[in-house]
């Protein structure tokens, strides 16, 4: 019911209504983005070190399918290096790669981000960061084990020269199915075979 207040103008009444709305709590912040990376690795050479076959040479082919809210990226004025360090922390698959490979991945990922920004436009923004931390490996020479030490499933058929599979290699050189080592690293920070600290 409207009431008449002598000397009050409609503008003052509207102002009171606006200030009254400020008493409501702010909306909750949006959920954090999901991090997903996808890279393809080709194992070139393994070597016997301390009685264990270790991966000593490989090449990688990043194919990160990335979308992210670039408006938030710009608003926070977060540098690429800070962003990549956060990705390394949140995506364990990056942290157990050697520094030279990580540096190469940083450059490649920064290029992917630039392409995505130019393709969609920063003002439009993308909604989610989906980076699949999956590693696809082409094995030319067999590793020490033909089975994943965690699930005990075979890595691939022996009659093929190159076997493509979802695979994760730790810094110590031990290999695992990606899904297995990802689950393991969520619970522990050591290699399940040699207990090397990751």
**Residues 138-178 pLDDT 10s:** 444 444 456 777 887 776 543 233 333 344 556 666 777 76
Residue 47 has pLDDT above 60, yes or no: yes
pTM: 0.28
Q: Sketch the domain layout of the chain as residue ranges.
A: 38-187
**Residues 7-32 pLDDT 10s:** 544 444 444 444 445 566 777 776 54
Work out the percent of the chain whose per-residue pLDDT is above 70.
17
Give backbone dihedrals phi and psi of 57, rounded to 5 degrees, phi first: -150, 135
Q: Calculate Rg over the CA atoms of the chain.
A: 25
- Helix (H), strand (E), coil (C) string for 8-64: CCHHHHHHHHHHHHCCCCCCCCCCCCCCCCEEEEEEEEEEEECCEEEEEEEEEEECC
Average pLDDT of the segment spanning 43-55: 62
pLDDT category of residue 6 using cuts at 50, 70 and 90 = low
Residue 185 has pLDDT above 70, yes or no: yes
């Amino acid at each position: 019911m409207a009431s008449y207040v002598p000397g009050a103008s409609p503008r003052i009444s509207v102002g009171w209504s606006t200030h009254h709305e400020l008493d409501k709590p702010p909306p909750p912040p949006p959920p954090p983005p999901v991090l997903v990376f996808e890279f393809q690795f080709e194992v070139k050479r393994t070597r016997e070190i301390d009685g264990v076959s270790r991966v000593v040479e490989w090449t990688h082919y990043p194919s990160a399918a990335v979308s992210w809210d670039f408006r938030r990226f710009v608003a926070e004025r977060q540098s690429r290096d800070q962003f990549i360090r956060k990705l390394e922390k949140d995506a364990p698959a990056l942290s157990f790669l050697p520094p030279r490979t990580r540096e190469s991945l940083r450059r490649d990922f920064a290029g992917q981000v630039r392409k995505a920004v130019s393709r969609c436009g920063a003002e439009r923004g993308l909604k989610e960061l989906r980076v699949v931390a999956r590693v696809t490996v082409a094995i030319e020479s067999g590793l020490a084990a033909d089975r994943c030490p965690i699930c005990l499933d075979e890595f691939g058929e022996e009659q093929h020269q190159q076997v493509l599979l979802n695979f994760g290699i730790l810094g110590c050189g031990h290999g695992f199915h990606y899904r297995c080592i990802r689950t393991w690293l969520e619970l522990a920070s050591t290699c399940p075979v040699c207990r090397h600290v990751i």
